[in-house]
Amino acid sequence: REVLLDVQNLEYSFDTYAGEVKAVRDVSFQVMKGESLAIVGESGCGKSVTMQAVMRLNPEPPGRFKGGRIIFDGKEISKFNERQMQAIRGSEIGMIFQDPMTSLNPTMTIGKQIAEVILKHQKVTRAEAMKKAKEMLDVVGIPNAERRINQYPHEFSGGMRQRAMIAIALACRPKLLIADEPTTALDVTIQAQILDLMKDLQREFNTSIIMITHDLGVVADIAERIIVMYAGKIIETGTSDEIFKHPQHPYTWGLLKSVPRLDAQNKEKLVPIVGTPPDLFAPPVGCPFAARCNYAMKVCYEAQPEYTNETDTHKVACWLKHPYAPKVKNPFEKEA
């Protein structure tokens, strides 16, 4: 598969009165055409900011693009100005967020809001845009499109509003869909329906998806590949199977033990990760997880662990992977 999005050594900070918050620190990853990727981590780990930085959604200042290159579909969009970015947002890259109520316009009918996006990015008449809007409601599984199209957001349930957001995000057939906690506000049944819908649409349109979530439980089914972030850095990345079945980083172990799975085969007790993430005004010189890690060694406080490759697709940044490190039992590996 071809590379659609290539993020290289991204550094993004916020300049505040209290100092520089180093929110994204040397983050590199790729998304292939038609691939679904999840970025997971606790709140404040930099997962949302990473994608906001890619899309240049934050006001600058206080946001500051410090370094790195972002190449989308062959174009170096990190060099784009705001006008060029606007042309891409909503057309080539669609976005959906946790709370559709804040992204939908309460004073405009759902149909008009979908049509609006189509009109902004495509050369069609208003009538054609409305017709497409109606088709999009069908696509995202909103029944009675004929009637629904003239309703306002408050007349929709939470799940239907999220479907409407997906309709807006996909209206221009984007190559990439970024979904930031798209199901967090929904109850579990509706959550599963929305995830199913996203999976179907991804297959149908061959859209790449980047799903941002604090909840590893929701990504098992939808993501082919997973990036685990901590304190603004990628600490482990692998295929969904590698992360769920052979996780290597103690933070990933903690995450997996602390979240219920939607498919809930594992009925084990949930254990929260004790402690809080480090201060991003002054990130630790060593491993960012050291203060909370049960396996921390002296070196962990002194130097950043390099990435080691478990497989071609599985990378982990942890000193336990060093050939001289003591062997610890991986709680997720079966005894050999």
Residues that bind Mg ion (CB under 5 A): 48
Question: Dihedrals φ, ψ of 258, to 5°?
Answer: -100, -5
Contact 173, 205 (CB under 8 A): yes
Structure tokens at 20: 């520089």
If the CB atoms of residues 57 and 299 are measured against Mg ion, the closer one turns out to be 57
Q: Which does 195 bind (CB under 5 to 8 A by kind): Mg ion, ligand SF4, none?
A: none
Nearest approach, Cβ of residue 204 and Mg ion (Å):
27
If the CB atoms of residues 46 and 159 are measured against Mg ion, the closer one turns out to be 46
Nearest approach, Cβ of residue 290 and ligand SF4 (Å):
4
Q: Does 318 bind ligand SF4 (CB under 6 A)?
A: yes
Helix pair angle (110-121, 158-170), 10° resolution: 20
Question: Closest Cα partner for 226 from 245, 211, 207?
Answer: 211
Distances (CA, A) of 199 to 34, 72, 91, 134, 243: 11, 22, 20, 21, 19
Question: Closest Cα partner for 63 from 75, 48, 77?
Answer: 48
Q: Residue written as tokens 């995202």? A: 140
Binding to ligand SF4 (CB under 6 A) within 284-303 occurs at 287, 289-290, 293, 295-297, 300
- Tell me which amino acid residue 309 is: N
Q: Does 250 bind ligand SF4 (CB under 6 A)?
A: yes
Task: Choose the binding region for ligand SF4 from 93-101, 221-229, 267-275, 317-325 (rule: CB under 6 A).
Answer: 317-325
> Whole-angstrom Cα distance, residue 177 to residue 211?
8
Distances (CA, A) of 100 to 9, 66, 112, 256, 267: 31, 31, 16, 28, 32
Q: Which does 48 bind (CB under 5 to 8 A by kind): Mg ion, ligand SF4, none?
A: Mg ion
Contact 278, 235 (CB under 8 A): no
Structure tokens at 187: 């109850």
If the CB atoms of residues 168 and 316 are measured against ligand SF4, the closer one turns out to be 316
Task: Choose the binding region for ligand SF4 from 138-146, 152-160, 181-189, 312-320 (rule: CB under 6 A).
Answer: 312-320
Cβ-closest residue to Mg ion? 48
Q: Which does 250 bind (CB under 5 to 8 A by kind): Mg ion, ligand SF4, none?
A: ligand SF4
If the CB atoms of residues 170 and 300 are measured against ligand SF4, the closer one turns out to be 300
> Whole-angstrom Cα distance, residue 150 to residue 241?
44
Q: Does 244 bind ligand SF4 (CB under 6 A)?
A: no
If the CB atoms of residues 177 and 300 are measured against ligand SF4, the closer one turns out to be 300
Contact 243, 254 (CB under 8 A): no
Q: Does 305 bind ligand SF4 (CB under 6 A)?
A: yes
Q: Which does 293 bind (CB under 5 to 8 A by kind): ligand SF4, Mg ion, none?
A: ligand SF4
Nearest approach, Cβ of residue 287 and ligand SF4 (Å):
3
Of all helices (H) and strands (E), which one includes residue 96?
A: strand 93-96
Task: Choose the binding region for ligand SF4 from 144-152, 157-165, 196-204, 318-326 (rule: CB under 6 A).
Answer: 318-326
Q: Give the interface with ligand SF4 as residue ranges (CB under 6 A).
A: 249-250, 287, 289-290, 293, 295-297, 300, 305, 318-320
